[in-house]
């Protein structure tokens, strides 16, 4: 059988509480005792039962990652694995484990997250998506459970880590304006998503700042599950407006556009958004630095968890700078 804290205590000739204190590296314990106990732990290959620890101490050293529905386009995008990398890098340093939670629909996801929260399986949550009035977020708010959104939240009292997508849209558009283009089209992903709206706002702001009139015929939003397919079809119409450059919010969208343009033998300057260097022949991309987003997200959640232990309620809002890279 696995060794318990009692076995270690016996072998080291101390009480179980002393063993606990050694594990916690309590300054109250003498160096000599610590050495003894540690030797005993080694000898018995002792590892604490984390369930027992969590039961009594009511912290788990686990955080939950809340993903959107299983069917979501989310999984097509390198954003998720990249942000996950950032989160897990910092989590490993703090010795935190990561539990992920998704489901086929909202009901199943709500059930899963309830179990995590009520069942005391995690100390905090990171939402890897952002949508208005999400019931899962509501649950966290109601129970005063530590959480943070990786994205833009509608409520002003929610902690979040995000890019400044309005500014990024502005800069992406300005990139082309500065190169002398005047008929810049804009093609975004799902219109409902806050990121699409924000980047569109940035696009409009940039045109305005340079006194270029907005032509809504040059603005398109994709729909459906496969972004490329939708973008491909949209381009057919878009091209009639004779744009001289295209700002797009997603590499998948850019892929659809490029595919159509290639087929009809047209070449247009394109800028896109991505979390990794696009494998596509486009001119530039806005790097949202998903690894950094993930790293800061974990750090911030960690902060929030500690705050809540002290009954502090702080709302953190962190912006991760983007960069524009020419290809």
Task: Tell me if 39 contacts DNA by CB under 7 A.
Answer: no
Q: Which of 57, 95, 142, 311 binds DNA (CB under 7 A)?
A: 57
18 vs 82 by CB, closer to a second copy: 82
Closest to a second copy by CB, 147 vs 175, is 147
Q: Is 44 in the site for DNA (CB under 7 A)?
A: no
Q: Does 32 contact DNA by CB under 7 A?
A: yes
Beta strand 184-188 pairing with 124-127: unpaired
CA 146 to chain CA centroid, Å, is: 16
Q: Which of 10, 38, 53, 318 binds DNA (CB under 7 A)?
A: 53
The count of residues interacting with DNA (CB under 7 A) is 31
Residue 15's binding partner among DNA, a second copy, none (Cβ under 5 to 8 angstroms by kind) is DNA
- Euclidean distance between CA atoms 91 and 11, whole angstroms: 33
For residue 76, the partner it binds in DNA, a second copy, none, with Cβ less than 5 to 8 A by kind, is a second copy
Kindly state whether residue 306 participates in binding DNA, applying the rule CB under 7 A: no
Quote the least distance from Cβ 3 to a second copy, whole Å.
10
Q: Which does 139 bind (CB under 5 to 8 A by kind): a second copy, DNA, none?
A: none
* b (16+ CB within 10 A) / e for 151-179: bbbeeeebbbbbbbbbbbbbbbbbbbbee
Residue 101 contact among DNA, a second copy, none, beta carbon within 5 to 8 Å by kind: a second copy
- Write down the least CB distance from residue 16 to a second copy, Å: 16
Least Å distance, CB 32 to a second copy, is 27
Residues 6+ apart with CB under 8 A from 87: 65, 98, 126, 294, 295, 297, 298
Task: Compute the least distance from the CB of residue 29 to a second copy, in Å.
Answer: 23
- Under the binding rule (CB under 7 A), the answer on residue 49 touching DNA is yes
Backbone φ, ψ for residue 226 (5° rounding): -100, 105
Q: How far is CA 155 from CA 69, 110, 130, 131, in A?
A: 22, 20, 11, 11
Residue 38 binds to DNA (criterion: CB under 7 A): no
Minimal distance, residue 110 CB to a second copy, in Å: 12
Task: Identify what 276 binds: a second copy, DNA, none; CB under 5 to 8 Å per kind.
Answer: a second copy
The CA-atom distances, in angstroms, between 171 and each of 211, 231, 251 are 15, 22, 17
Q: Residue 166 to residues 139, 162, 163, 321: CA-CA distances in angstroms?
A: 29, 11, 9, 12
Could you tell me which of 165, 160, 89, 80 has the C-alpha nearest to residue 126? Answer: 160
Say how far apart CA 285 and CA 172 lie, in whole Å.
Answer: 8
CB of 44 to DNA, least distance (A): 10
Question: Does 25 participate in binding DNA (rule CB under 7 A)?
Answer: no
- Asked if residue 264 binds DNA (CB under 7 A), the reply is no
Task: Return residues touching a second copy (CB under 8 A).
Answer: 2, 47-52, 54-55, 60, 62, 70, 75-76, 78, 80-82, 84-85, 88-89, 92, 95, 97-104, 108, 112, 114-116, 118-121, 228, 252, 255, 259, 262, 276, 279-281
By the criterion CB under 7 A, which residues form the site for DNA? 1-2, 4-6, 13-21, 23-24, 26-30, 32-33, 46, 48-49, 52-53, 55-57
């Amino acid at each position: 059988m696995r060794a318990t804290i009692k076995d270690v205590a016996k072998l080291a000739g101390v009480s179980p509480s002393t063993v606990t204190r050694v594990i916690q590296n309590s300054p109250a314990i003498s160096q000599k005792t610590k050495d003894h106990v540690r030797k005993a732990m080694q000898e018995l290959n002792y590892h604490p039962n984390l369930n027992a620890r969590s039961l009594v101490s009511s912290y788990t050293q686990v955080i939950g990652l809340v993903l959107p529905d299983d069917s979501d386009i989310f999984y097509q995008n390198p954003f998720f694995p990249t942000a996950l990398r950032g989160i897990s890098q910092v989590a490993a340093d703090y010795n935190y484990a990561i539990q992920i939670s998704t489901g086929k629909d909202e009901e199943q996801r709500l059930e899963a997250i309830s179990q995590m929260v009520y069942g005391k399986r995690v100390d905090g949550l990171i939402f890897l998506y952002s949508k208005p009035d999400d019931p899962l977020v509501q649950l966290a708010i109601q129970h005063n459970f530590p959480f943070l959104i990786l994205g833009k939240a509608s409520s002003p009292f929610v902690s979040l880590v995000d890019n400044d997508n309005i500014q990024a849209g502005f800069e992406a558009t300005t990139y082309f304006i500065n190169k002398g283009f005047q008929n810049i089209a804009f093609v975004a992903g799902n219109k409902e998503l806050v990121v699409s709206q924000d980047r569109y706002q940035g696009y409009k702001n940039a045109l305005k700042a340079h006194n270029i009139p907005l032509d809504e015929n040059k603005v398109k939003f994709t729909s459906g599950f496969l972004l490329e397919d939708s973008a491909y079809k949209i381009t057919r119409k878009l091209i009639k407006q004779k744009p001289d450059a295209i700002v797009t919010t997603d590499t998948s969208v850019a892929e659809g556009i490029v595919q159509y343009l290639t087929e009809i033998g047209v070449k247009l300057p394109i800028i896109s958004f991505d979390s990794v260097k696009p494998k596509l022949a486009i001119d530039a991309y806005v790097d949202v630095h998903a690894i950094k987003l993930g790293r800061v997200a974990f750090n911030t959640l960690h902060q929030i968890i500690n705050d809540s232990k002290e009954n502090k309620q702080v709302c953190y809002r962190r912006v991760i700078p983007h960069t524009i890279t020419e290809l």
